[in-house]
Amino acid sequence: MAPRERTTKKITVTLPIEDAEAVERLAESGQVESVSRYVTEAVAFRRAREDGLAVLESRFGKPPEYALEWARTLISRRLRAPGPTA
């Protein structure tokens, strides 16, 4: 029987202490399966985002700098705004 091909690779990742502790708390509380799963999903999300942006850029070209700055400002304001209350 042929050996199975590995589908994962163990690496070391260095995170800011606050981020590392936050992810560990999520795993300990059962909110995420594991720290590894959380990082795997975060990487997959980032790669999908970058792939999507590449498709948009290939179809429509790179957006002008003023449009990027407008979007950054809008996102920054939204992130600072208080969230909805229940």
For residue 71, being part of any structural domain is answered with yes
d(CA 86, CA 83): 10
d(CA 57, CA 68): 13
Q: Which residue has the tokens 């050996």?
A: 3
For residue 65, being part of any structural domain is answered with yes
pLDDT tens series, the chain, 86 aa = 677 888 999 999 999 999 999 999 999 999 999 999 999 999 999 999 999 999 999 999 999 999 999 999 999 998 888 766 54
- Tokens for 78, please give them: 């939204």
For residue 62, being part of any structural domain is answered with yes
For residue 9, being part of any structural domain is answered with no
Total domains present in the chain: 1
Domain of residue 22: give its range: 17-80
pTM: 0.69
For residue 11, being part of any structural domain is answered with no
